[in-house]
Structure 1
Amino acid sequence: MLSTGALRAHLLAARLAGPVATTREESLRSYRLFAARDPRALIGLDPEGTWGQREVMALMADRCGVSADPRHTSGHDVIDPERTLEALDAFARRIGKAARDGVPVLLGTGHPHRLLGFYAALADALSAAGCAVLTPAQGRCVDITTRFGLRTCNLDYVRGVAFVRKPRPGTAGCETGAHTHSPLPVRTALAVAAEAGGPLPELVIGDHGWVCGAGQLGFDAMGLADTDDPALFVGEAEGRVSVAVPLDDAVRSAYYRPLTRYVLNRACLSQ
């Protein structure tokens, strides 16, 4: 059993919180793009409110603990570990409820190299508790616009967790995948599930476009978000994202294992 104090120490030691690798420049660029309604920063969310750069920065200061001073323009960003812990507790409560209710769930990630193991452990625990872990649209092509132009990827699942990968013969089911912020993978998965007559997820867990894309469509969605991912926190503020957990989403995959233990314990799903 991992105590709150031990997890706080781990968050700081692993740089999941405290000073993180994400730079202030990266975060400010994302806030500018979000304020300009650039799809690269919206990642599937259509904000209802007026979110200028200062409003976005103020929200991120409140939800993550980053600096609210617009004159602070360089260096590493900072995440308050207390805010991470508070959000992880809410995240665990929602997972615990899903497990008790036995609802169908969908898990997906835009960071398969880093976060697949974290989500896969949640999928295993939810499945053991009686939840159907959905895998709709496996193998479907998804055309994603990138800075290099249109790229066709395939939707795949490993241990119940969805991600996209560049199509290469003979690689279906492998644990490698492509990094993406796009909401198109979750839209594809949900559309195929609906066309097949269901079931549809009552909870979507993930990051980036998986959360915002599902939340925008009215699904209960929650996940992890870095300081340069303002869309999830705006979605949370506007009621379309249930929980956004502030942390660095690109550290070594092993560093997320203590978070897995903490969340499953709090959700009464320890294996």
Structure 2
Amino acid sequence: MIDPELTVGALDRFAERLGAVARSGGAVLFGTGHPHRLIGFYGALADALSAAGCEVLTPATGRRVDITTRFGLRTYNLDYVRGVALVREAPALRSGCATGVHTHSPLPVRTVLAAAAEAGGPLPDLVVGDHGWVCGAGQLGFEAIGLADTDDPALFVGEAEGRVSVAVPLDDGVRSDYYRPLTRYVLNRACLSQ
């Protein structure tokens, strides 16, 4: 069971970090391993930060990422929807479509960050996402915040180790429209509502 008070407290800290990067006009990278469920949440945050003058980074579009899965080695392509990075099965690459694959791998964020560095930057002041996007960025020393389901403890471990700034406990498998109240709450708390 997820304690709602812990979720609200973490959402407040999450919004505080978004507000801080908005005030500084920093660069932000968004990425999700749950594109079917969470693209709307992250996309709204990316839109708001872009409107506030932040650069929403989109490096390595179309770049291949080989990820070992329980089905063997799979090749995926990096793509962005509404400024949010995700991976797609290589033959199904259709830019702008919200569907992508579910992954916990840190390899996509490592690929994106390496591409940004190779191009001379900018590098993100904040990485926002879930699963491997947050943990992988945190392991590389980038400030990272994200949503975390209690059945996937990696973000909570990363937060306890000081590698993840904020891990918000919630159910990451509900219908996408159920995240709209959280989106409004975070945008209001971060002073980013339009």
TM-score range, shorter chain: over 0.9
Out of 156, 169, 172, the position equivalent to 2:79 is: 156
Secondary structure class of the residue paired with 1:173 = coil
Q: Deviations over 1:3-50 (max 9, x none)?
A: xxxxxxxxxxxxxxxxxxxxxxxxxxxxxxxxxxxxxxxxxxxxxxxx
Aligned pairs for 1:17-36 within 5 A = none
Q: CA deviation at 1:170?
A: 6.2
Question: Corresponding residue for 1:252?
Answer: 175
Q: CA deviation at 1:228?
A: 1.4
Out of 52, 62, 66, the position equivalent to 1:143 is: 66
CA distance in 2, matches of 1:200, 1:163: 18
Letter in 2 for 1:148: F
Question: Corresponding residue for 2:184?
Answer: 261
Question: Corresponding residue for 1:99?
Answer: 22
Q: Which runs of 5+ in 1 are unaligned?
A: 1-77
Q: What TM-score results when the alignment is normalised by the length of structure 1?
A: 0.71
Q: Which runs of 5+ in 2 are unaligned?
A: none
> Are 2:113 and 1:197 equivalent residues in the alignment?
no
Q: CA RMSD in A?
A: 0.8
Letter in 1 for 2:150: T
CA distance in 1, matches of 2:78, 2:86: 6
CA distance in 2, matches of 1:237, 1:170: 37
Question: Corresponding residue for 2:141?
Answer: 218
Out of 70, 87, 107, the position equivalent to 2:10 is: 87
CA distance in 2, matches of 1:188, 1:228: 26
| Residues 31 and 129, structure 2, Cα contact 8 Å, conserved in 1 | yes
> Are 2:110 and 1:187 equivalent residues in the alignment?
yes
% of aligned pairs identical?
81
Secondary structure class of the residue paired with 2:91 = coil
Structure with greater strand share of residues: 2
> Are 2:51 and 1:128 equivalent residues in the alignment?
yes
| Residues 134 and 155, structure 2, Cα contact 8 Å, conserved in 1 | yes
Question: Corresponding residue for 2:88?
Answer: 165
CA distance in 2, matches of 1:224, 1:172: 25
Secondary structure class of the residue paired with 1:168 = helix
Letter in 2 for 1:199: P
Q: CA deviation at 1:168?
A: 2.6
Q: Deviations over 1:77-115 (max 9, x none)?
A: x11011000000000001000100000000000000000
Question: Corresponding residue for 1:242?
Answer: 165
**Whose Rg is larger?**
1
